[in-house]
Amino acid sequence: MNKFRLIAKQASPKSEQKKALFSRSFVHQAVFAILTTTIPLLVLTLWFSFSLQQSSSEINKFYKLNQQVDKELTLLSDTLKTLQEAHQNNQLLQDKKLEDAINFRWTDVKNIANGLKNFSDESAFVADLQQFITKLNFVQPKDASFNELWANYHSLSESLKHWIEHQLDSANEQFQLRQSIFFVGLALLVPLLIATSLFLIIRIRNKIYALENATNQLGLGKWDLPISLSGSAELQQLGEKLDWLRIALKNQHEEKDTFLRHVSHELKTPLASIVEGTSLLQEQVLGPISVQQLRVLEIMVRSSQQLQSLIEDLLRYSGATKLGQTNQTTDWKSLQTELSAYFHDRQQSYSIDIDWQTLERGIQLPYLPCKLALIQMISNAIRYANQTVWVKVKVEHQICIIDVIDDGVGFTPVSATRALEPFYSGPKNLEKQVENNEFHHGLGLTIANECSKTLAGTLKIYPKSGGHIQIAFPLQEPQQ
């Protein structure tokens, strides 16, 4: 057993070394991937640049050598011609000075021939040159056979020029070979670099999409689904933090819902007793009541209705953040019919007309969020309108836009800014006064704003004459 433990301890450094070599960090992986593709490409480019410079230097060297060889061979040829002409003239004249000049020229030919040794060590050229020099050394100028010398000269010249041409061809072949290697390397490394770049772009895009989905999940209130981001170490750590945030938000909303349920339950219990007691007193079951007592009962009934409305809207506000989890949809025509019936009595009480303006009767909308948001928006418009409330619906680029407009005083810049705050109530003196004036507690537009968030949309309030509230949200793609 101890032996196995010892082996495990000895193996652990290797595993740690392996983990260190292959980091799970996305930054390290990206740097490693870029270096593995760019460094070979850089090395290949530097090698080709050096090879190009080297090949150019070699070719220039042989071109210069060719020019020098041509110059020396031309000089040797001219000297031989001069020597041959002088030799022919001396055979006729037998002049001592001319013979001395021929001997001097003969020495020049030997020196030029010996100088050709520095140009090449190729075997054929060396053999021809050695034969030419031997001929010059062992033959006297007066006994020279210029036909043999010219034959040796031409053989020497051809072998030297052939060697230079061979060297130039070899240099060109080496350059073409290096050029081919460079292009083949580019053909392999450039697609590899492009593939690596595309791979990194796709990975980054996937990470952004995963992060966007996780944040959308938090924004839509889907706190029951755990958040787990796979991939690099940074993304996993971010996923753990987002999941911790999800749990915290879930606990917070559960505590809020629990608190609201408890509060509503605690309020409904005494409220039911108050309503039942006032009903008995109004029906005079316990005996006749005076006019003053009847007024007190009316105040109690109205206060009970206000308290009941407050409790119901608190529960709606609590449930507004969960409406996005429902998949129930309805068409606009059905929703309009339901809302018209809902506001029928209130329209008569406030003497308000609702003008429904839309050509998009067939669009499918999320049922509960749209219904609750429109109830709050239209209720707010009815409360401040003079005669008419307009409800306009249109669709632009798969974005549903619903405008609720009234002909009242509208929103001031201050009230437009604060109207979405919970429990903010507008000026009471601007509300329409009717016999059964409803209690306004300042949660209506806040609830509508929460509904717009569940629809991944926005709610805007325009500060101008005539109330104007707009909600816009993307339409869901129809399921196939």
| pLDDT tens, position by position, 18-28 | 444 445 666 67
Whether the per-residue pLDDT at 442 is higher than 60: the answer is no
What is the pLDDT averaged over residues 121-143?
A: 62
Reduced 3-state DSSP string for 17-55: HHHHHCCCCHHHHHHHHHHHHHHHHHHHHHHHHHHHHHH
Q: Is 403 left (phi over 0), alpha (psi -120 to 50) or beta?
A: beta
Highest averaged pLDDT of the listed ranges 368-372, 400-404, 406-410, 445-449: 400-404
Domains within the chain, CATH numbers bracketed: 26-186 (1.20.120), 231-321 (1.10.287.130), 327-480 (3.30.565.10)
pLDDT digit string (tens) for 389-408? 999 999 988 899 999 999 88
Using CA atoms, how far apart are residues 146 and 130, in angstroms rounded to an integer? 17
Which range of 292-296, 337-341, 359-363 scores highest in mean pLDDT? It is 337-341
pLDDT band at 388 (very low <50, low <70, confident <90, very high): very high
In the chain, what is the straight-line distance between the N-terminal and C-terminal CA atoms, in Å?
Answer: 62
> What is the rounded CA–CA span in Å between residue 124 and residue 162?
10
Residue 220, pLDDT score: 65
**436: three-class secondary structure by DSSP:** coil
Residues in the chain: 480
Smallest CA-to-CA distance from 408 within 465, 358, 351, 448 is with 465
pLDDT at 434: 39
Least confident of 6-10, 319-323, 448-452: 6-10
Provide the whole-model pTM. 0.44
pLDDT (0 to 100) of residue 459: 92
Residue 131 burial (CB < 10 Å; 0-12/13-18/19+)?
middle
Q: Does 318 have pLDDT greater than 70?
A: no
Instruction: Tell me if 363 sits within 8 A of 328, measured CB to CB.
Output: no
Mean of pLDDT values over 76-89: 67
* pLDDT of 228 strictly over 90: no
What does the pLDDT average to over 207-213?
83
Query: What's the confidence (pLDDT) of residue 275?
Result: 79
Whether the pLDDT of residue 89 is over 50: the answer is yes
Q: How confident is the model at residue 95 (pLDDT cuts 50, 70, 90)?
A: low
Q: What is residue 322's DSSP assignment?
A: T
d(CA 371, CA 320): 11
pLDDT at 11: 41
- For residue 12, is pLDDT > 50? no
| Structure tokens that stand for 235 in this block | 């993304």
The pLDDT assigned to 470 comes to: 93
Burial of 40 (0-12, 13-18, 19+ CB in 10 A): middle
| pLDDT tens by residue, 245-303 | 888 888 887 887 787 777 777 777 777 788 788 777 777 777 787 878 888 887 777 77
**In this predicted structure, what is the pLDDT of residue 406?**
92
pLDDT band at 183 (very low <50, low <70, confident <90, very high): confident
d(CA 299, CA 5): 84
How much is the pLDDT for 378? 92
Q: What is the three-class DSSP state of 161?
A: helix
Quote the crossing angle between the two packed helices 123-138 and 146-219, to the nearest 10°: 160
| Mean pLDDT, the chain, integer | 74
Output helix, strand, coil percentages for the chain, rounded to the nearest 5: 70, 10, 20
C-alpha radius of gyration, the chain, whole number = 52
Q: Is pLDDT of 421 > 80?
A: no
